[in-house]
Amino acid sequence: AEIPENTALYDDDVIVGRILGEGFFGEVHEGVYKSPSGERISVAIKTCKDCSAEVKEKFLSEADLMKNLDHPHIVRLIGVIEVDPVWIVMELYEHGELGTYLVEHQSALTTSKLTQFCLQICKALAYLEGLNMVHRDIAVRNVLVASPESVRLGDFGLSRYVDEQEYYKASISRLPIKWMAPESINFRRFTTASDVWMFAGVCVWEIFSAAQQPFFWLENGQVINQLESGVRLYKPQHCPPTIYALLARCWAYEPQGRPTFRDLVCSFSEIHRMELEQETD
């Protein structure tokens, strides 16, 4: 598909419906967008509550970043409205957040299905890796379920629009410490290798733990000491040993010691293929 050059929309073309949830800048609503060709598209609309010029710039920078992305497993931007009301309009994924979905469908989700979700998120991240883009907030709460067969990574570059110093100070309580690589906790250093830690090391663990919180038995402040003394997340009951072995490689303390997303796509594809074979045996 082609990346749209012009993503400016008119609010006349967007009908706002019920509230889906609360975003960082304001409520997120369900809605319908009427495209220039007359097609009606179900959308999610992010609104911006106290949209001063400064806030507006930060709010819209997420959309700016998303404009350049086009991937089957990344949330699709439809467009933005840049004058009052300032809105970001995205494709709607009716099944909602992966975290909630995992809890609600826990008994029906097979190992191969869970591995398929991991593989899809991994492909989205390999795509970002190729664009030299760092996500920084990979967690099941930031993945949306498009259909029972397909998930999409969202909440993009949440921290890209703010320099790291400001992000740290402005929202210390919002920093996802329990998902972060040691160098991100210690030096606020975020790279593709720290994304690998967040994805394979933590998000995959969440997927096989029915969205339990990683390190739920620790306070945020205890996590770095534990990591530095070599403690890692345990193997979730339903996580295949082959996948757990992969996670262990992504928990290398030194960022250079971790696999790349390209490597991980190969590994997850292979594991997924084997699981499908076993299931049909």
Active site residue ranges: 137
Q: Which position among 7, 9, 14, 20 is part of the footprint of ligand ATP (CB under 6 A)?
A: 20
Which residue's CB is nearer to ligand ATP, number 173 or number 256? Answer: 173
Least distance in angstroms from the C-beta of 182 to ligand ATP: 23
- Quick check: 240 binds ligand ATP (CB under 6 A)? no
**Is the Cα torsion angle 220, 237, 95, 66 positive or negative in sign?**
positive
Binding residue (CB under 6 A) for ligand ATP from 9, 86, 90, 271: 90
State in angstroms the smallest separation of the CB of 217 from ligand ATP. Answer: 24
Q: Which is nearer to ligand ATP, 161 or 244 (CB)?
A: 161
C-beta of residue 207 within 8 angstroms of C-beta of residue 224: no
For ligand ATP, which residue of 75, 98, 140, 204 counts as binding (CB under 6 A)? 75
Using CB under 6 A as the binding rule, whether residue 80 contacts ligand ATP is answered as no
State the binding string over 123-152 for ligand ATP (x if CB under 6 A, else -): ---------------------x--------
**Looking at 4, 21, 72, 85, which residue binds ligand ATP (CB under 6 A)?**
21
Q: Note whether 72 binds ligand ATP by CB under 6 A.
A: no
- Lookup result for tokens 């739920």: 216
Q: If binding is defined by CB under 6 A, does position 239 make contact with ligand ATP?
A: no
What six digits make up the tokens of 100? 């909630």
Q: Under a CB-based contact definition with an 8 Å cutoff, are residues 99 and 206 in contact?
A: yes
Q: Tell which residue, 93, 137, 158, 146, has the closest CA to residue 117.
A: 146
- Interface residue with ligand ATP among 11, 13, 16, 24 (CB under 6 A) is 24
- Closest distance to ligand ATP from the beta carbon of 280 (Å): 33
What is the 8-class DSSP label of residue 70?
-
Q: For residues 103 and 113, is the Cβ–Cβ distance under 8 A?
A: no
Q: Which residue spans within 111-252 are E strands per DSSP?
A: 143-147, 150-153
Place of tokens 């009052």: 84
User: Residues near 214 by Cβ (< 8 Å), separated by ≥ 6?
Assistant: 178, 179, 202, 205, 206, 233
Tell the smallest beta-carbon distance from residue 26 to ligand ATP (Å): 8
Q: Considering beta carbons, is residue 29 or 113 the nearer one to ligand ATP? A: 29
The whole-angstrom distance between residue 103's C-alpha and the CA centroid of its chain comes to 17
Segment 39 to 68, residues that bind ligand ATP, using CB under 6 A: 44
Q: Is the dihedral of CA 126, 132, 137, 141 positive or negative?
A: negative
User: Residue 139 gets which letter from DSSP?
Assistant: S
Q: Does 158 bind ligand ATP (CB under 6 A)?
A: yes
Stretch that binds ligand ATP, among 5-13, 21-29, 112-120, 159-167 (CB under 6 A): 21-29
Number of C-alpha atoms within 13 angstroms, CB side, residue 251? 23
d(CA 240, CA 275): 10
Tell me which of 9, 25, 184, 243 binds ligand ATP, using CB under 6 A.
25
Interface positions with ligand ATP (CB under 6 A) = 20-25, 28, 44, 75, 90-93, 96-97, 144, 154-155, 158
